[in-house]
Amino acid sequence: MTKINLKQQLEAFDQGIILDSEGNENDCYNFYDWFCKDEALKGRATKLFKQVKRWAKFRNTDTEKVYVFFKNNCPVFGSLYDDFRICDLESGDVIWTVTAKSGHTGQAEVWGRLNNFQEAIAVGKNLNEIYKQSF
């Protein structure tokens, strides 16, 4: 399957279109997996794409070499929460997993390849706090 890059996904989002990583506009709204109601996906995706735009600027991301997808998580203990995953366009490997509020900890967290996803690379009360950190 051919992937589109994050630049194309963000350009579409700026036009009010939510594209998945294969360039499709569908009822999943770029979610790979979810436990929330289907009707909630579009609103959640809109919120996540805004976070992705800010993340891409913060990390000075080459948006032509990556793509994004979303996941709605349901921990055994904790509340439902969303994350976005930035992936390498060629390999499909996840580079970053970012959540504004983990259902496990209640905090914003960044996980990534920098430490092979062994533990959160950055933690804060919210994403604004994380953007003040350097990593």
Instruction: Reply yes or no on whether the pLDDT at 109 is more than 80.
Output: yes
Give the separation between CA 94 and CA 79, rounded to whole angstroms. Answer: 23
pLDDT score, position 134: 82
Q: Is 14 exposed, middle or buried (0-12, 13-18, 19+ CB in 10 A)?
A: exposed
Question: Is the distance from CB of 75 to CB of 105 less than 8 angstroms?
Answer: no
State the pairing for strand pair 31-33/66-73. Answer: parallel
Q: DSSP letter at 2?
A: P
Give the separation between CA 105 and CA 74, rounded to whole angstroms. Answer: 13
Instruction: Reply yes or no on whether the pLDDT at 1 is more than 70.
Output: no
Give pLDDT tens digits for 70-105: 999 998 888 999 999 999 999 999 999 999 999 999
Give the separation between CA 97 and CA 85, rounded to whole angstroms. Answer: 4
pLDDT score, position 74: 93
Give the separation between CA 21 and CA 15, rounded to whole angstroms. Answer: 16
pLDDT score, position 130: 96
Average pLDDT over residues 108-133: 97
Q: What is the pTM of this model?
A: 0.94
Q: Three-state DSSP class for 115?
A: helix
pLDDT level of residue 16 (50, 70, 90 thresholds)? very high
